[in-house]
Amino acid sequence: MEVTTEPPKTQIDEASSHRKLSFSTPIAGDPSSEKLPFFRHRSRQIKRDTWLVSVFVLLQIVAFAVTMGVNDCSRNSNDHCAARLLGRFSFQPLSENPMLGPSASTFEHMGGLYWNALVEKHEIWRVLTSPWLHSGLFHLLLNLGSLIFVGIFMEQRYGPLRIAVIYFLSGIVGSLFAVLFVRNIPSICSGAAFFGLIGAMLSALARNWNLYTSKVSALVIIITISTVNFVIGFLPYIDNFANIGGFISGFLLGLVLLFTPQLRQDPPPPHKGKLFEDDMRSSTRLKEMFDRPVLRIVCLVLFCGILAGVLIAACWGVNLNHYCNWCRYVDCVPTRKWSCSDMTTSCEAMVSDAQLTLTCMANGKFRIFPYTNISQARTQDLCTLVCT
């Protein structure tokens, strides 16, 4: 009786039978293509370092610390501060800044946007500094929490280079858009860059809508994060027009820069080596770059047009508040604590018995402060508070 046996498989044959190289970029709308959830589980995320988001977070924390150090409430406000135990880094009273932050004069000194500095002094460099300022500790924590959630997701999915381009360009365009509505109240634009990432995330979801599952849940998350950050923009010093400009810029740049994601990528067979793997990846990237060229070109032209338009308008000193009386309410909701009017405040100061009495020349209101040795800029801060 003759027995036939199969030759044993070598390790190379066994590895070849189980390992296949499969690069796939499914076509949107193909029901047979593989799908994945938009917000994947952490264990299924693409393993990439998120150093870029870490740098952004660190820079914003440092900028806020420097701002509070320059503010020096304990000295400039004669210890009339909130959280006085922090000493130099204590906050202005809540009646002046409800977000636990510095004074208006500090924002002006650190590069916040306001009309006189941009139009009369031509300090256009404020467009670059205002996106790094925060109105207070509450604003900083909310912004950083949102940035970490959105930024890490975007950097892991699309890499640091494209996210950096979207972040910086959205911040610049958002600040320029805010200039068109800026008043003599200092405003900061730290939300513009973050809203750029939100817009890019929304464009990635919309562009590849048929590739994802749980699309409605992802859309609800994006809308919730955007709404919370936009509502915070109604508080003093935070510029909602910068958020709007940053969101539009991020959405357009997302359609230009963010390619269709790869859904499946198995390792190459061992005998092919790294050269074959790199060649396949380059081919896949090339196909992605030329995906939907008309849409990319149109969005790029629109973005360049918006950038050129807001830049020219900002250089010419265009103030859209003159043509839109209700636009200021997009950026500010008036309350008993602060006003949205763009009035120029002036006060009569009287010093007696180590007390400073400021009387608003516009409405006759006055207030007594238990100190006298303060700077002119700080006196103007208090005058604005009294007139409001």
Residue labelled with tokens 């500010």: 332
- Report if residue 3 sits inside a domain: no
- Report if residue 290 sits inside a domain: yes
Find the domain containing 368 and state its range: 347-387
Question: Is residue 244 domain-shared with residue 351, that is, in the same domain?
Answer: no
The CATH number that applies at residue 67 is: 1.20.1540.10
Question: Is residue 113 domain-shared with residue 157, that is, in the same domain?
Answer: yes
Question: Is residue 292 domain-shared with residue 355, that is, in the same domain?
Answer: no
- Report if residue 209 sits inside a domain: yes
- Report if residue 327 sits inside a domain: yes
Question: Is residue 254 domain-shared with residue 359, that is, in the same domain?
Answer: no
| CB of 92 closer than 8 Å to CB of 82 | yes
pLDDT of residue 385: 78
pLDDT of residue 15: 43
- Report if residue 82 sits inside a domain: yes
Residue labelled with tokens 């949107």: 28
Question: Is residue 353 domain-shared with residue 382, that is, in the same domain?
Answer: yes
Question: Is residue 67 domain-shared with residue 205, that is, in the same domain?
Answer: yes
Question: Is residue 310 domain-shared with residue 355, that is, in the same domain?
Answer: no
Question: Is residue 181 domain-shared with residue 313, that is, in the same domain?
Answer: yes
Helix, coil or strand: residue 188: strand
Count how many domains the chain has.
2
- Report if residue 274 sits inside a domain: no
pLDDT of residue 360: 82
Question: Is residue 322 domain-shared with residue 355, that is, in the same domain?
Answer: no
Question: Is residue 252 domain-shared with residue 353, that is, in the same domain?
Answer: no
Q: Measured between alpha carbons, how far is 64 from 47 in angstroms, rounded to an integer?
A: 31
Question: Is residue 202 domain-shared with residue 168, that is, in the same domain?
Answer: yes
Question: Is residue 325 domain-shared with residue 357, that is, in the same domain?
Answer: no
Token representation of residue 20:
């296949």
pLDDT of residue 308: 93
| CB of 377 closer than 8 Å to CB of 105 | yes
Pick the closest to residue 369 from 383, 361, 377, 100 (CA basis).
383
- Report if residue 146 sits inside a domain: yes
pLDDT of residue 303: 94
Q: Measured between alpha carbons, how far is 242 from 319 in angstroms, rounded to an integer?
A: 15
pLDDT of residue 248: 95
- Report if residue 93 sits inside a domain: yes
Helix, coil or strand: residue 34: coil
pLDDT tens, 210-225? 777 777 888 898 999 9
Q: pTM of the prediction? A: 0.76
pLDDT of residue 17: 44
Residue ranges, the chain, pLDDT below 50? 1-5, 9-33, 41-46, 262-268, 272-280, 283-284, 286-287, 290
pLDDT of residue 119: 76
pLDDT of residue 55: 93
pLDDT tens, 48-59? 667 899 999 999
pLDDT of residue 364: 74
